[in-house]
Every structure is written in structure tokens, then in C-alpha cells.
Amino acid sequence: MPEAIATFDKVSYMYPRSTALVLRDISLEIRKGEFLGLIGPSGAGKTTLCLAFNGIVPQFYGGRFFGAVNVAGLDTLEHPISTLARYVGIVLENPETQITATSVENEIAFALENLKVPRDEILARIPRVLEAVRLEGMEHRHPQELSGGQKQRLAIAAMLAVRPSLLVLDEPTSQLDPVGAHEVFRTVQELNRELGVTIVMASHAAEELAEYADRLVLLNAGQIVDEGPPAKLYTQVELMQQLHLRPPGVTRTFHYLRKAGFSIPELPVTLNQGIAAIKPLATACHRQASEGQLAPAPRDGRPLVSVTHLTHTYDDGTQALRDISLDIHRGEYVLITGQNGAGKSTLVRHFLRLLLPTDGEVRIDGVPTRDLSISALARRVGYVAQNPDNQIFNTTVEQEIAFALRYLDMATGEIRSRTERSMAAMGLQDVRDRHPLSLPRGERARVVIAAILALEPEVVIFDEPTTGQDYQGARAILRLTKQLHNAGKTVIVITHHLYLMAEYAERVIVMGKGTLLRDAPIRVVFHETDVLASTYLTPPQAVQLAQALTEATGIPLLCLTPQEVAGALVCDTTGRSL
Amino acid sequence: MLDNQPTGEERTVTYVGGATIDGAPIAYIVVLSAVCTALAFIPFSVIVALGGSFPLSQAIFPLVGWILGPIAGAIASGVGALVGVFVAPHTAGIPAVRVIGAVVASFVAGSMRHGTRRSWWWFPITVTGVICLALFGGRAMVQNGVSLWAVVAGAFIDWSALLLFALPTRALVSKWISSPNPGLMATGLGLGTWIAAGMAHLVKGMITYFMYNWPEDVWVTLIPIIPVENLLRVAVGITIGTGVITGLRAIGLVKPREAVY
């Protein structure tokens, strides 16, 4: 067995001004060349554990620390962070927070310069690490010109240049689109397999960790609940659900099948395992599990949002939208999806007149947006931006929610009553006096949503609302979108997390490179894998399993969720063991 | 004692070999220097005697002292002001004086402490202030024949700041700023900004007076203007300070050793 590169011995930790331990009695050994995944719900202590590898916890934060962490033979409390940084590279969730230079090569050189590496050596290392993360030829590009995935790979390259023995990544893909996430996982896997770099990655990306990690550690409330290969942890579906974690879609599907009486000796955790295991079950499948809508619902009356031949070209000449035409009616729940740069946000910004068409027209309730003011539109169309922090600028939750109302010539009583209603709807009464930035990200998003709801808009647009959220947080936000929809609001959600949307959206608009690729009911679009692939999207694993079944049986199964796939198989075979 | 005591042995936590100045991480100093430089672009009042304008950054130099402490705060403000005179020459005035004023304001603010090992710092600062005031006022009256009432009225913010600094009010400032009560915190920021900006004005005034020797007419003209300018610094200091300190407390960022908040 390879020797240990890092060991945690009875480690417990408490942040300053806190009374609770955020890590408790952690004993863990990370072996050289291993790819270790850290999983657990929000607040489990994953980030704190990551920061303990290079002494940031507790040296920078202070607090109370018990036990010992040794990395490459160095006690992290007895050596400066700068020394530990030679052995441990850390890549954070948001690459923007760790990129400081004005060019790709300067970014890589920065840490090396601080470690007094000779200039010639720095110049020699830059092309090597850029090649390792596939950013060759971008040496002189400004980091801001890079895509999200490229920025994250630049952050990894900057860490690699220091030649660490251990690379720690804290949710490196949570803010990336599928292409970016795939790029990062592929890079990390290559570093692990080909260069032997030890990897520790905290992530909610269950499908990817199941594919790439050698071992998982499950944390909850600061303690290790279990550890072992992905096949051991992800197959404990009930435990995962109890901790608000999401096992891979394929595992959940077979879990439901097992519950339905099928004999499934081992739950698969990767898609390939799942497809291989589901085909023998195909004989049990003989009906179309597509009770949902397959044709667009007929709509009467004037559309609430009407887009006609919309083209938008930015000042720098980039054509972001090309000849888009669509109608959105009152009470619809629409998912807009597509790769980064597909034009999704550009499209919805026209609904708020934050952008004006270069060509074509956008009408809100029959009135061209050109004839409406932004403030008038803001009352009818609410926009929840991707990063809630960008919409927060008051010092208490209550002030934040009431902020816009004060500028609408509204009576004080009405402002108070709307603020209270919004706070209640979002469950924020208990934190009304807290600073919004002191709340967890999920609650910060709810503050922004509450502020939007207080305006009582007809349409609410959520721009990537699940980015950076854990499964529980993402589901909570989506449940809220459903509540709004049920209350009669028109809801538009932009996301590329398709696996989350099956239970919510009715209609899907797929965009790619500024054009409208498809506009149809979700059950149709999710099964048009070629259309999705053309804009770098992957359907949920349940859809892929259903397609494998369709291929095996010839019966079209337009399932969207693990439950539906399991339902299609057990419809007439409950109790039958295959 | 914790419930369910951890099994590991408790260790002493120290910042080993970290990059700090007087207990303030270098990163904080760099960030606040940059903020001072950015605010140097915004003018908030014209300089009647010399032309040009005062930078809005004058209003946050005391705040920088309360956040980083007297030494790191003075460095941050000094560096920020120094960069500011180059990138924002329209508010540079006399560049060296601008930098000295920034350093003094943050240093004085950071020194408004009580019950610390640096509690005695108030004494040499007060003595220095008295000397500056004596040289400033004395030269005006003895050499340039400015009347006593004009000096007293014209130097109102200087002597009032000096007096408030010498009295226990300086300790009250730090106590109020550290209060969880937002009203008290704002009051502390306001009073403290008046004192620290006034002390900085005193040192700058002394230097520039020795350079320009303004006659009584200038003194009289400035009598109503100078306090209003200092009140503006106070207003901006309260506005920015309450937001910044509330935010810093809320996000729980590691606190510099000499921070007051």
C-alpha cells in the first residue's frame, strides 16, 4: 500500500467566536497517488477540512484546534502556510477569488515568485503546466477573457507550477457549466493517473466522483460517517437521502427497482455499469412511461412575453442572439438551457430592457420593451441573478427586502406588509436583523428572491439559481419556483443542471451559439440527446437508462426520473425477480 | 470546557511566519490601500487657498486606523495616499502633505485605545499636537499679525480635536465603535473621525502655514468653511464606516490584532 501523504489524527476544530466544533475527531490517512472524494451536506465541514491541509485552518482563522494534521511529514501548526504551500495546492470553488494577475503566465508565475523560484525555472515551468491543463497558447491572455472552466484550470495550473504533492480542490466544478466541469474533471483525472498527483476533492458532483474517485469520505456535522470506494458509499441510498445528498441517478434508479422487488445484487454507480445491468431487465418492460406532455400545450390569448426575430449584437461585434422568435404565456414554467455563451442571459435581459434588440422586437403583455422604462418593467418582471451577492447591498435582511419598495412611492404600511409577506414566504423572519452576507449562500439567494417577490412581479426569472448550491439548497430553491408557479406566476429558469429540472419545468427552450435550437415540452427535449449534445448538455442518467431500455426493447420510454424508469419496468412485474 | 470533549489534544494556535504588519495581514493592508487610492479620485471640496480639491479618501483614513491599528493603518493610508497623488493629481494638493495627513489620521485613530499596552501612546501624540498648534497659531499671531480670535476660530477643528483626543473621549470613541449597538457605533465613528481628521488637519495646517504664511483675510474666509469640510468627513466616515464594520463583523473575517471594531 502506498505511503501516506497526509494524516489527520483526532482532529477537532472550532472557529473563533463559535461554540460548536466544525470538525470533530477526524482521523484520516490520504495515500500517495490517491483520488479521494469528500462528500457531505452543506455545513458538514468539507471546506474546513480542505483548508486544514495547508494550515489556513487554524493558522489564519485562529480558533481552537485539537489533534494534529501532518502533510508530507510537516505538522501544519508548526510550519508557516508558505512552507506548507510547497506541498499542498488548493483550488477554491470560485476561481475568481484566487486569480489576481493580468495575464495567464503572470498568474502562474505569482506563487513561484513568492517562493523565490529562479526566473529561468519559472519560465520553464509555465509552458509545462499550461500543457498539463490544456491551456497552451494562452500565456498572454487576460484571465478575464477565459471561460469558467478555463479559469478553474488556470487556478489548477498555478497550483501545479509549485509542484505540490497534494492537490486539494473544494467544489471546483459547482459554478461551471457541463463543459467546464468535464474539462476540470478530465484534467484532474489526468494529473492523478499520469503524473501521480494525489487529489482530494470536495464535490457534490456524484456522477463524476463515482466515475473518477478511488475512495470517498462521507462527512456530516464535522464527523466522518463512513469511508470507502464509491460503490460502497453511494449505494447506501437511504443514508444519502437522510443526509440530503444525491447518489448518482443510475444508483437511485436501481435502488427504486430493488425496492420494487427486483433482485439487484449490487447497485451500479456509473452509467456504464447501469446500462449493462438494465438491459437484462428489458424483458420486464412493456409500456410507454410517458404520461407527461408530449405536444406543446395549447395557449390562448396574448402572450405575456413575445419575442419576434430578435437579434442582439454587442458593441464589440459579438452576435449574441440571432433571429430568435418565441412566445411565453401567463402561468408557464419554462426552462432555458444551453452551454455558456449560448445567449440565455442575453435573451432574458431583453425582457427587462437591460438590453435593447439590435433587430427584432420584444413585447411584454403586448407593449414593446422600447416603450417601457426599466423601472416599470422591474415591477412586472423579477430577475434573480446568478450570484445573489451581486444583488445584496443592505445591512439587514429586512432592509434588503424592503429596499426597492421604498422607491415606488408606496405607503409605509404597504411596504411593511409586503416585506413581512415576502420574509414569511422565504422563511426569513428569524434572520430579519442579520447581515445578508453573514447567511449561508442558499439563504442569501432566498433574501434576493424575497426582495424580488416583494415587488409582486408577474414573471420571475431565475438565472442559474442552483449554481453553487448543494442538492438540498438547489431543491429548496426549485421547490420555491414551483410554489410561485402554482400561485399563478410565470416562471423562467435558466440552468444547465438538467437532472434537477425534470420534476419542475414543463417546457424547455434549448439555445446554442445565439440561436434557438429547440422549443418543446421537457419530455421531448430531454430525449433529443443530439440536440442537447450540440450545445454541450448531457441528459440526466435516468434519461440515458431509459434510452438504453428503448434500444433494447424497441418500446419508446420517454422517462425523465429514476422513479419513472423503475416504474416502467415494474408496471406489471411487481414481485418478479429476474 | 466543551460538551463531549474532543479526543485529540488541544494545541496552541499561532500564526506561524505569516505576512503581517503589527498583527494586520498584508493582504488587508493592500486592499485598504487600494480603497484609499480609489477614493482619491473623488473630490469633495475645493482648496480655497491653493486650488485643487480634497480627496474623499480623507474621510476613511481614520476608519483604516480602526480596522488595522495605528501602525498598519498608517501604512495602508500612507501608501494609498501616495499612489493617489500620482494617479489622481486633481486631489493631490501638496503631495507630501497629503501623504503625511493620511498617515497621521490613521495613526491617531488607531491609537484611541484604552486598557491596552499602548494606552500611553496618547501622551506623546497629544504633546506633538500641542507643539504643532503652538507653532501654527504662534507663527500666525506673532509673525503674521493674525488676530487671536481669527486663529481660535480658524483653528477650531484643530484645537477641538486635540482637546477631545487628550480627554478620555478618545477611549469613549473606541468603546463606542466596538459596541454592537449600531447607533453607538455610528456615534463613535463620527466623533472619532472628527478627532482624527482634525488632528491630521492640525499637522498639515502647521506644515502648509510655514510654507504659505496666510494673512488674516484668508483665516477669516476659512472660518466657516473648515468645520463644514470636517463635518463632511464625519458624515462620509459614518456612512462608509458603519457599512464596512457591520459587514466585517457579519462575515467573520479574521480580525487584525489591533482592530478596534
- Complete domains list, chain B, with CATH: 20-251 (1.10.1760.20)
- Give the separation between CA A369 and CA A360, rounded to whole angstroms: 11
Confidence of residue A574 (pLDDT cuts 50, 70, 90): very low
| Distance of residue A541 Cα from the nearest chain B Cα, in angstroms | 38
User: Which residue among A62, A67, A438 places its CB closest to the CB of B250?
Assistant: A438
Mean pLDDT, chain A, rounded, equals 88
At A295, the pLDDT band (50, 70, 90 cuts) reads low
- Interior angle at CA B168, CA B167 and CA B174, nearest 5: 125
Residue B49 clears pLDDT 60, i.e. is over it = no
User: pLDDT tens digits, residue range B179-189?
Assistant: 989 899 999 99
- Of the candidates A15, A79, A435, the beta carbon closest to that of B247 is on A435
Using CA coordinates, name the residue in chain B closest to A440: B251
Q: A573 pLDDT exceeds 60?
A: no
- DSSP 8-state class, residue A298: P
Query: Can you give the pTM of this predicted structure?
Result: 0.77
Cβ-defined contact of B247 to A17 (cutoff 8 Å): no
Select from A473, A512, A480 the least CA-distant residue to A496: A512
Q: How many helices (H) and strands (E) does chain B have?
A: 11, 5
CA A179 from chain centre, in angstroms, equals 12
Spatial separation of the C-alpha atoms in residues B256 and B76, rounded to whole Å: 13
Give the pLDDT confidence score for residue A291 in this predicted structure.
55
* Closest chain B residue by Cα to residue A393: B243
Give per-residue pLDDT as tens, B167-178.
999 999 999 999
Q: How many residues are given for chain A?
A: 578
- Is 0.90 exceeded by the ipTM? no
| CA A362 to chain CA centroid, nearest Å | 30
Instruction: Select from A62, A66, A59, A49 the least CA-distant residue to A6.
Output: A49
What is the CB-side half-sphere exposure of residue B105 using CA atoms within 13 A? 32
Structure-model confidence comparison of residues A104 and A536, the more confident one:
A104
- A209 in Cβ contact with A203 (< 8 Å): yes
CA closest to A223 among chain B residues: B6
Cβ pairs bridging A and B (under 8 Å): 88
Distance CA A408, CA A144 (A): 37
Alpha helices in B6-147, H assignment, sequence order: 26-39, 61-68, 70-87, 95-110, 122-138
Q: What is the pLDDT of residue A292?
A: 58
All cell numbers assigned to A67 = 489533534
User: Which residue type sits at B233?
Assistant: R
Q: Cell 473544494 sits at which residue?
A: A170
Angle between helices A271-278 and A541-553 (to 10 degrees): 30
Does A73 have pLDDT greater than 90?
Answer: yes
Q: Can you give the pLDDT at residue A294?
A: 64
Q: 3-state class of A70 per DSSP?
A: strand
**What mean pLDDT do residues B156-170 have?**
95
Q: Which three cell numbers stand for residue A536?
A: 454541450
* Chain B residues close to A437, C-beta within 8 Å: 247, 250-251
* pLDDT higher than threshold 70 for residue A287: no
pLDDT value of residue A23: 96
More confident residue, A187 or A332: A332
**Is residue B177 a contact partner of residue B260, using CB atoms and an 8 Å limit?**
yes
Cβ count within 10 A of residue A229 = 15
Cα(A22)–Cα(A221) distance, rounded to whole angstroms? 7
Helix H or strand E segment including A238: helix A237-242
- A546-562 pLDDT, tens digit each: 999 888 888 888 899 99
- Interface contact A81-B246, CB threshold 8 A: no
Average pLDDT over residues A329-350: 91
Question: Which residues from chain B sit within 8 angstroms of residue A60, using beta carbons?
Answer: 15, 18, 25, 254
CA A454 to chain centroid:
27
Cβ atoms < 10 Å from Cβ of B5: 11
Average pLDDT over every residue of A507-516:
94
- Residue from B21, B75, B36, B79 nearest B258 by CA: B21
